[in-house]
Amino acid sequence: MPELITSDGELIAEELASRGIRFQRWPARAALPTGAAEAEILAAYADEVKRVQSEGGYPTVDAIRLNPDHPDREALRGKFLAEHVHSEDEVRFFVEGRGLFCLHIGDEVLQVICQADDWIAVPAGTRHWFDMGPEPQFCALRFFHNPEGWVAQFTGDPIAQGYPLLDQLQAVAP
């Protein structure tokens, strides 16, 4: 049973901060053309990339953009849905669409629908999973300390199977 359902960015930031998760709302100001390449996406958000890198020293940045016709969407969804941790912070700025971060902190699971304008930083070692939905539609900038980019250690815990997915939560979101 959810304890809190809200789209209030300040309240989300406050609740997450009390658990060590950073969350902010920034304007996703650039309209990206369909089929924009990674370099074009990063150039459109060069100011935001510079801001995050200057504050957190994340030398590696990429852009992930998935849509319903992406040929690897099912495999990627399955991989991201398995609970995992990273040896570094997981930092994302959503510039289009939405996705669901599920954060397993102690005995608690927080489900946060991130959408365009949302910036989130999940600390290294935080157990979590991510759902992009059966028909993904999102673009996010990803910031890393590791030059290899996204590297996960899977926990093997089946906890994610007991929680609603993005499409189920969107039906009850305010």
pLDDT above 60 for 140 = yes
Percent of the chain at pLDDT exceeding 90: 69
Name the helix (H) or strand (E) containing 71: none
**Measured between alpha carbons, how far is residue 105 from residues 85, 133, 152, 166 in Å?**
12, 22, 17, 19
Q: What's the mean per-residue pLDDT of the chain?
A: 90
Buried/exposed code over 145-166 (b: 16+ C-beta within 10 A; e: otherwise) = eeeeebebeebeeeebeeeebb
Average pLDDT of span 38-64? 91
Q: At a CB cut-off of 8 Å and minimum separation 6, what does 130 contact?
A: 80, 81, 99, 100, 101, 102
Tell the CATH topology of 20-155. Jelly Rolls (2.60.120)
pLDDT digits (tens, 9 = 90+) for 77-109: 998 999 999 999 999 999 999 999 999 999 999
CB atoms within 10 A of CB 52: 20
What φ, ψ does residue 71 adopt, rounded to 5°?
A: -65, -25
64, 95 contact by CB (below 8 A): no
Domain map (residue ranges) of the chain? 20-155
Token output for 20: 């060590």
pLDDT the model gives residue 171: 61
Q: What is the dihedral of CA 21, 51, 28, 94, to 10 degrees?
A: -40
Average pLDDT of span 42-60? 89
Half-sphere exposure of 99 (CA within 13 A, CB side): 29
Task: Give me the amino acid identity at 117.
Answer: D
Confidence of residue 2 (pLDDT cuts 50, 70, 90): low
Written in H, E and C, the secondary structure of 100-123 is EEEEEECCEEEEEEEECCEEEEEC
